[in-house]
Structure 1
Amino acid sequence: MSAFAALRTVARVGPARMVSGMRVALAARPLARAAPVTVARAFSVSAGRFGSGTTDIALAAKLQEELQYEQTQLAEAGDATPEFIKTFTEEGVWAINDTRGNDEVTLTRKFGDEHIRIMFSIADIQTEDDLEGEHEGEEDEAPPATAMPIRASLSITKTSGPGAVNVDMICQEGSFSIENISYYDSAATGTELTAEADWTRRGLYIGPQFDTLDVAVQDAFDAYIAERGISDSVAFFIPEYAAYKEQQEYVKWLGKLKKFIEL
């Protein structure tokens, strides 16, 4: 179980990418008795070079085509850090914690005696094809340019005392929409990314749906998290960074898969 899933156990639909395979037709076996020996010997050499199956070469070729295309896209974008990341980090508010190969990203910051963390996953990204499919048949309405929505999990703990506040949010169209707010007596229970902590959280009351709270309470809590830097600029940054990271991870995935098929 991934860290993000362990924290909130959210069902996720990842980006759908498929590589079409091709069947490799084998030549009909000749009637002569000596021919099968020759055919078997030639096949063993080919299979030894590309795995053990007859479809390996075709799959590797398709993966290579996709890999070249994606690498071309990255080359056109250049190796420099994207401007939106530079702008975000230069503000000096949030630190980006991104481990290559993982699908989660964490933003952290200090606010007084509070430690604030926002987690989101690239597995929530919808591909361009998905978005076009959702809008199929709708005339005069182009699919949105940004893949939405993306779930985010906010946690707030204090060095001056125990406890943790967790907030489940949806990042969409440059703003955060709160789903619910949970409070845990133990900071470890509310923030640790372990199976034990997840099991403990499952049995605890997680609070009401946010939109069922009194409007004045909703407004006050919106102001509370906004003061802590959970702003529109962060809501715009999350999906943009998620798309950037997903592209990087996808290219690496293609290369690793192709290399394995060719072993």
Structure 2
Amino acid sequence: MLTRTVYRAIPRGTTRFACRTPFRRFPTQRVQAFSLSHSRFDSASQQLAAKLSQEAQLESNEMSKTNNLDVKSFLEKNPGWKISDTTGTGEVIMERKYEDEDITVMFNVSEADNSLGPDEEMEDEMSDDELDSDEINSGTSDKFKVVPEDRMDQRYEESDSKAETLEEEDWDVPIPAEVRVLIRKRNKGALKLYMDTTDSFFHINHVVHLPDSKEMHSTSAVELLRKDTDGVYTGPLFPHLDEEVQSLFHKYLEARGINTNLSMFIPDHVIEHEQKEYVDWLKRLQSFVE
């Protein structure tokens, strides 16, 4: 009762004033995180694009020194072959005719077996040295103990010596490449050979006979080489055949231009074509990140 009386005694104007007293709104300050991140990413993109452009220019200059020299030299010495490669695919197609046969050779720079380079080989040897040193220091070897400082000095001296040796030697080891060959005869199907080039020599792995069919007539040689031979007997491993059969088969291929000259050309062309692919790849990356 007392509370209600006091409330009624308060002037109504006072109540209205209190209720209508405006409050000041302060604008909310938002964090501009996106714009900062965006500018930061733009800067990173520009730096990456500039570096990719620099790398592409260096590789292009290096490539121009020997561009297509191996192709021109090979075609001059081995007339009849046609070479086509499409940048971006890594695929190289070689074609020629022999009497009534159509011969197609296909290899891909992406499938080349990139063996260990000098740096990687040196790292492996250094790892072996580490194991030897650990055995010495752990007491498992009867050799003298090597303190860490001496071990590091010895490692650097050995690595410098190996690097100098590699610089003096010409590190130009042929890259093994997987090769597929198709020898096609009208109304007789085709022979499909799975091979690889090693030490300037063709090593045959399998020889598959593809029977003549309507599907084969409507399928290009390149498509036949790309397709797997599922459901077709691939024959035994070629090295398991009689040695005389192997020898005569190599002579059969040599008569059709699949010889030592070709086995030496392919690894060289793999290196050159891979260089072109690398430069094109750098330029496409640069175009994307710009």
Normalised by the size of structure 1, how large is the TM-score?
0.70
Whether 1:203 aligns to 2:231 is yes
Q: Distance in 1 between matches of 2:108 and 2:73?
A: 21
CA distance in 2, matches of 1:222, 1:64: 46
**Aligned residue for 2:95?**
108
* Pair 1:42–1:224, CA change in 2 (3 A): same
CA RMSD between the two structures: 3.1
Is 1:251 matched with 2:279? yes
- The 3-state SS of whatever aligns with 2:188 is strand
Query: Would you say the 8 A contact 1:125–1:147 is kept in 2?
Result: no
* Structure 2 CA distance for partners of 1:157 and 1:56, relative to 1, 3 Å: same
Q: Which amino acid aligns with 1:251?
A: V
Instruction: Give the structure with the higher percent helix.
Output: 2
Which residue of 223, 226, 231 maps to 1:193?
223
Show CA shifts across 1:27-50 (max 9, x none): xxxxxx96944x754554565xx3
Matches of 1:60 and 1:82 in 2, distance apart?
Answer: 28
Structure 2 residue aligned with 1:146: 173
Partners of 1:247 and 1:193 in 2: CA distance: 26
Q: Distance in 1 between matches of 2:38 and 2:253?
A: 64
Distance (Å, rounded) in 1 between the aligned partners of 2:204 and 2:220 = 17
Report the structure number with the largest CA radius of gyration: 2
What's the CA shift for 1:165? 0.5
Matched, 1:125 2:125: no
CA contact (8 A) 1:163 1:190 kept: no
Tell me what 2:159 maps to: none
Q: Figure out how many residues of one structure are paired with residues of the other and give that number.
A: 217
For residues 185-229 of structure 1, the C-alpha deviation after alignment (integer angstroms, 9 at most, x for no partner) is 13627946179x936x21221111001001111111111111111
Amino acid at match of 1:198: K
Match of 2:256 in 1: 228
User: By how many angstroms is 1:126 displaced?
Assistant: 5.1
2:189 to 158, 163, 180: 163
- Report the AA paired with residue 180 of structure 1: H
Shift of 1:58: 4.1
3-state DSSP of counterpart to 2:117: helix
Question: Secondary structure of 2:87's match?
Answer: coil
* TM-score, normalised via structure 2 length: 0.65
The alpha-carbon deviation at position 248 of structure 1 amounts to: 1.1
User: Any stretches of 5+ residues in structure 2 without a counterpart?
Assistant: 1-27, 126-161
Q: Deviations over 1:87-109 (max 9, x none)?
A: 22223121112222221111111
Partner of 2:121: 135
- In structure 2, what is the equivalent of residue 72 of structure 1? 61
- Maintained 8 Å contact 2:174/2:199: no
- Identity over aligned pairs, percent: 29
Secondary structure of the structure 1 residue equivalent to 2:270: helix
Distance 1:127 1:238, change over 3 A: same
